[in-house]
Structure 1
Amino acid sequence: MSCTQDMLENLPTPQVEVFFMLLWSIWVERNNVVWNGSRVDPRETVRWAMDLLDEYKQAQLVANKGQRSRQEARWIFPPRGRLKINLDGAYREDGSGGVGTLVRDEKGFVKEAWSVDLTHLNSPIQAEAMACKEWLRRAVEQGWVDIDVESDCEVLVAALNGENSDGLKVSRIIDDCHDYLVLLNNSVVRHIYRKANNGAHRLAHFASFNKD
């Protein structure tokens, strides 16, 4: 068994990374000595190798974060046996607005889509909360369970997940939503990016501009 193979099999990953970075740095410095007549300080070689390894790890963190952001910006299929409800509310300065919701199954097929205009709204969060309340009510009426509820409104999602909503002017609507969620066994509420909620977003804004 070679020395390198022995290290790969026995050393933990961080030490393997240090070993190969040092090996590469020594090779580079060796070439500088042979071809350029450079003088080498081993301590500087080690310091240089560790700096390069740290830069590489930082770059990997940034790349992985960017990849996660791209994934989170896409709509994701729900697990098998679950339904996913995407909802959104639209608010206009004149107090009008709309709500839009989409229900899709594990294959991405739309089981139901719904939008309606609203009036006498006081704030964007009220439109979001109304969208949630109305669709949870419909889900209870349909007898659905095991559902994932997604919204791009962080304040709404935080309130639905148990964070204090007493300071919100829509706290009563949030309480109604909590009551419906109790009836929807094994339900999950999560925040998503706007791009991943595009279908419900379009329906809500379509409703807000198309009042009969």
Structure 2
Amino acid sequence: MTTDGTYTTKTGYDFVRQHRSRHAASPSSSSDARGHGQRKSFWMSLWKAQVLPRVKDVAWRAMLEILPVRQALRKCGMEVDGSCRFCLESEETAAHVLFQLPVVLRWWFASPLSLRFRESDDPASYLQQLFDTDEPEVISYGMTMIYAIWEQRNNLVHNGIQATFEALLHRVPTLECADSSGSLAPGPARVEDLRIAWRRPVGNTIKINFDASWTAASDTGFGMIARNNNGEVMAAAALGFTSASSALMAEALAFRWSVSLAKDLGFFRVVLETDCLQLFEAWKKNRLGDSYLFSVLNDCRDMVSYFTSFDLSFVRRSGNSVADFLAKNSSKFSNIVWIEEVPPDLDLLVTSDVLASMAF
């Protein structure tokens, strides 16, 4: 109040400001200080992102848990079914519909970002995991993904239109963002700009991507997928293996296994692709040696004469995601060969590869 006891908006504002200043100056724990710093960094990342204001608005509402999901509507007293329209089982929360749904988790992993989130019930923690990448293109694309997923949810709820990964992947690049000057600039980077995409083989050659998963405990798994120049799956396989002395040896053994499979499957013109640069360089140098590595590579060279055309190429890990998935899940799929199909969990990754390859 003023000195004469009259209340005004200005005096109310001054009171709140002084109260907050005293509270901020009061002793606090180091964890509180860190938390304040993290929140400040979080908000800076959100508002600085080069995305449309409406995209920021959805991310902001998700962070504060004020998106009009069914759980929030019920809390406001509305008599609505609280279950998620995607799965029809769990309660629809912001964290659930944007990050936790099995189909949405597959979307995130199959997207150009290839993200796997740590599970949480707090939407802000998922956004923080996105911001922790500290890469502007990833943050922009991820925030736009959130907006596009929310759009897909609304189309399903209000229009009965079934959400699909293809629609999501095509929608994200169409959303433009504002640059620092306020003018419109191209939206989040296209698929091929954010990752090294899988590319189709030339002519009637079969491309075989392979990978190995290895741990210090020597638990090893192999994965491979063979596709033609239309992106169609010719074969896929996974094998659990339990003895490899190093990650490089695991990759070499996966190479030999893949060459042998290609021979057994009757492929004649092949190019194998690895994301292990050491293996690629060792193969190209074509040096002799007495080590187990050279012995395995020599086995591969002996089998090469079977093919009318053979080559080994190198690709970044982001272009080898299907084989990587099979290798890491080899204990689940162990010693299985699929002909002209893949496990259901891989459908989105294969589709993402094909869509990305259309740019080349």
**Which of the five TM-score ranges fits, normalised by the shorter chain?**
0.5 to 0.7
Q: How many residues align?
A: 146
* Percent identity (aligned): 23
2:226 to 97, 103, 106: 103
1:90 and 1:165 map into 2 onto residues whose CA distance is 26
Q: In the alignment, residue 174 of structure 1 is paired with which amino acid?
A: L
Question: For 1:189 and 1:122, how far apart are their aligned partners in 2?
Answer: 23
TM-fit CA distance, 1:163? 3.6
Please identify, of 124-133 and 72-81, the stretch whose mean Cα deviation from structure 2 is larger.
72-81
In the alignment, what sits opposite 1:157?
280
Q: 1:132 maps to what in 2?
A: 255
Q: Give the letter aligned to residue 279 of structure 2.
A: L
Q: Which residue of 2 aligns with 1:73?
A: 196
Cα displacement string for residues 110-167 of structure 1 (whole angstroms, at most 9, x for unaligned residues): 1111011111211111111111111111211222111111000111112222443637
Match of 2:312?
189
TM-fit CA distance, 1:70: 4.0
Partner of 2:294: 171
User: Larger relative contact order (C-alpha < 8 A, sep ≥ 6)?
Assistant: 1
Residue 180 of structure 1: aligned partner: 303
Distance 2:226 2:333 in 1: 22
Distance in 2, Cα, partners of 1:94 & 1:118: 12
Query: Does the 8 Å CA contact 1:81/1:106 hold for their aligned counterparts?
Result: yes
Q: Is the 8 A contact 1:117 1:207 kept in 2?
A: yes
Q: CA deviation at 1:96?
A: 1.0
1:90–1:208 CA contact under 8 A, matched in 2: no
> For residue 178 of structure 1, what is the amino acid of its counterpart?
R
Query: Which of the pair is proportionally richer in helix?
Result: 1
Gaps of 5+ in 2: 1-189, 336-360
Q: Do residues 112 (structure 1) and 262 (structure 2) align?
A: no
**Which shows bigger deviation, 91-100 or 133-142?**
133-142
Partner Cα distance (2:305, 2:195) in 1: 27
C-alpha change, 1:130 and 1:71, in structure 2 (3 Å) is same
Q: Distance in 1 between matches of 2:325 and 2:289?
A: 30
Q: Following TM superposition, by how much is the alpha carbon of 1:104 offset from its aligned partner in structure 2, in angstroms? A: 0.4
- My pick for the range that moved more, 123-132 or 165-174, is 165-174
User: What's 1:6 paired with?
Assistant: none
Q: Which amino acid aligns with 2:330?
A: A
Look up the match of 2:169: none
TM-score (norm 1): 0.62
Greater Rg, structure 1 or structure 2?
Answer: 1
Residue 209 of structure 1 and its aligned partner are, at CA, apart by 6.9
AA matched with 2:197:
R
TM-score (norm 2): 0.38
Equivalents in 1 of 2:220, 2:264: separation in Å?
A: 24
Cα distance, 1:209–1:178 mapped onto 2, change above 3 Å:
same
Contact 1:84 1:105 (C-alpha < 8 Å) held by counterparts:
yes
CA distance in 2, matches of 1:209, 1:153: 23
What is aligned with 1:142? 265
Give CA deviations for 1:33-77 in whole Å, capped at 9, x if unaligned: xxxxxxxxxxxxxxxxxxxxxxxxxxxxxxxxxx9x849710001
- 4+ residue runs of structure 1 moved beyond 6 angstroms? 209-212
